[in-house]
Chain A
Amino acid sequence: MSLTIVRLYHDLLGTYGDQGNAEVLCYRAKARGFEVDLVEVNPGEPTPRGGDIYLLGGGEDGPQLAALEMLSNDGGLKYAAAGGATVFAVCAGFQIIGVSLPAASGETVSGLGLVDAQTIYPEAPRSVGELVIAPTRGELPALTGFENHQGLTQLGPEMPPLGRVISGVGNGYRGTEGVWHGNIFGTYMHGPALARNPELADAVLQCAVGPMARFDDELAISLAQERRRALGE
């Protein structure tokens, strides 16, 4: 059993520690006996089209747009997603996979359009703090993360959010947080999200490989529980 995980543009989308999501996925997949190939794609390099899971993280505004332009021109991520690959995108990465987002000048640019989500930058203060959500899919427990973003993201009518906000801001529209549409995940949760939420990490892995053996990683479970408890869940 082998699995290819593709981490995109760490230099551009690595400001908020989300690169840890790739390490967690590798760790949990290896624990199930998978042979994991972690592919680092640097800016300027082509994105492989045959990966199983693609990861995007949070970054600053300028680098975000630079990443969007490169991903758009390269076409690899869009091709892989259309073919059923799993995508897990955080914050700036989440905004990139939507249909539109603001450019530095204030005008709107087109995103990759993997999900129907539109991001705007309101005149409101930045959303910074712990975020707790009740996942839309019943099999997951409450999820926690740390959000730090200016943009607010409105999902299209057909788009199921990843969860409903219990505390924090999330997408900033109607109490939604993130998106989980088919094999595409978007979220504003840093932490990294998959380190603080092992059940979510397994949900992402299962999109790519199907049902897996249980893996009771005590330290990961303690961390998730401790965070939930600290945030009143």
Chain B
Amino acid sequence: MTYSPRLKIAISLGNIAGLISRSFNRGRGETLTGRVILAICPDAISNLAINRDIVLVSGTNGKTTSTSNLVEILSRLAGEGVSTSRSGANMPAGIAAALAQKPQHRLAVIECDEMYLPAMYRAISPTVIVLLNLSRDQLHRTGEVRKVAQLWRDAFTADDVTLVIDRDDPFLEYAAAQSGHVIRASFGGRRHPDAATCPECSQILDWSKGNYSCKCGLGSKLPDVRGDKNLRGPQRNTVLIIEAARLMGAEILADDAQLILANSPDRVSQFDINGRMISTHLAKNPESWREALAQLNAQQIILSINARGIDGRDTSWLWDIDFASLQGKKVVCTGERRLDVAYRIKVQGVEVCVASDIEQAVSYFPTGMIQAIASYTAFQDLAVRELGITKVQGERK
């Protein structure tokens, strides 16, 4: 593919900016690279997408993990290089940078923020769009679930793309209703509590044996793929990703699929806090908190909550989550909104105390395994802290 001189310059300057950003240890520099590219060449994304086979991955939860899973499957099974963003940068700047990195690769898997999905669909003309799930997220930013579903429905009116969706999520069915090609995976049941009402007319949906219907005529469609009903959210996402990989030409036999499913990683990181390894789940909204809580098996738990922009500035959603599984465990809350979460779980009968920072939180547990759940920026703070410590150690050598 030959690009215009302007785009070539934009990519070169963007890469230089990213390199400088990285050398100052300010993250991976993808967003800055993309910003420079888009500033110089505003239509870079559509130009970089020409003659490529691209998958967009969107949804409330699991985008980054699913994207990297799909990249891995495609590069292994399709035997080709795949362009992607490794950092989870999923807005236009991050997407531009991902496409500009190794533009010779025919395949690209691009994570896309829910609100930007219609614009990125138009700019990129992807081959496949995977819609993982749609549940309540940052209400102050993305608004209510049905508004996002409507935004998507208004965008997907052609048959130039194949949508892969979880058909047990009525909001995804609603979003895909006007699209020509839809692959539906079913797991035999209601996926999350937000799916109680009809996306079309707001009446209560009638759920029966894993199918739903509404007086207005909306109802679940026959699935193309069936998955085990006991699969948790991340594994359901993996089933959708496997279908997307098949659509992209990867030959995946049933045994391969089982193996991929068994190995699909959850989004857990290990952070070293004063010599203690803390296995930390990133959780950003009620549904991802439920997933994270279900995976805690330690008796000593740290919850870290902030309410900066990307976390959702309103912490009310903490009351949507059932914390009963923490009863009997020892829990320390930290982060800027530690009192909000501490009070919420105390009311549910959980023994709790608060700590001003993560070090103090860890000091409450002198021995034994500690697990943590952190909101978006609280998790980032831990990651940055980890980076800082690594750097200091490096300099000492």
Contact = CB atoms under 8 A, between A and B. Distances in A.
Interface of A: 11-12, 14-20, 23-24, 27, 43-44, 60-63, 65-66, 128-130, 146, 148, 190-192, 195-196, 219-220, 222-223, 226
Interface of B: 136, 139-140, 144-146, 193, 196-197, 201-204, 313-320, 339-340, 342-344, 346-348, 352
A11 B192 CA distance: 11
Given A12-B197, A219-B343, A19 B320 contact: yes
Contacts of B202: 12, 60-63, 65-66
A223 to B, nearest CB: 4
A3 to B, nearest CB: 16
Contacts of A63: 197, 202
A15 B136 contact: yes
Contact of A60 (B146, B315, B346): B146
B14 to A, nearest CB: 34
Contact of A11 (B140, B197, B317, B346): B197
B375 to A, nearest CB: 15
Contacts of A60: 144-146, 202
A66 B317 contact: no
A15 B139 contact: yes
Contact of B318 (A11, A17, A66): A17
A18 B346 contact: no
B363 to A, nearest CB: 20
B347 A17 contact: no
A135 B12 CA distance: 59
Majority secondary structure, A binding face: mixed
Contacts of B339: 219, 222-223, 226
Nearest to A128: B140
A27 B347 contact: yes
Nearest to A18: B316
B374 to A, nearest CB: 19
B343 A191 contact: no
Centre residue among B313, B315, B319, B342 by max chain A CB count within 10 A: B319
A222 B343 CA distance: 9
Given A43-B204, A192-B319, A62 B197 contact: yes
Nearest to B145: A60
Contacts of A148: 139-140, 314
B316 A146 contact: yes
B266 to A, nearest CB: 25
Contacts of A62: 146, 197, 201-202
B316 A190 contact: yes
Nearest to B341: A223
B197 A195 contact: no
A12 to B, nearest CB: 6
A23 B318 CA distance: 12
Given A66-B197, A219-B343, A223-B339, A17 B316 contact: yes
B320 A195 contact: no
Contacts of A190: 314, 316
A63 to B, nearest CB: 5
- Residue from A20, A23, A65, A220 having most chain B Cβ neighbours under 10 A: A20
A219 B140 CA distance: 26
Given A128-B140, A219-B339, A220-B343, A16 B313 contact: no
Contacts of B140: 128-129, 148
Closest 9 pairs between A and B when the two form their complex, measured CB to CB: A62-B202, A17-B316, A20-B319, A11-B196, A146-B314, A17-B319, A223-B339, A190-B316, A43-B204
Contacts of B316: 16-18, 20, 146, 190-192
B62 to A, nearest CB: 22
Nearest to A44: B204
Contacts of B320: 14, 17, 19
A148 B138 CA distance: 11
20 contacts: A11-B197, A12-B196, A12-B202, A12-B204, A15-B139, A17-B317, A18-B316, A18-B319, A60-B202, A66-B197, A66-B202, A66-B204, A128-B140, A146-B315, A148-B314, A190-B314, A191-B315, A191-B316, A195-B319, A195-B340
A24 B319 CA distance: 10
Contacts of B204: 11-12, 43-44, 66
A148 B317 CA distance: 13
Nearest to A222: B339
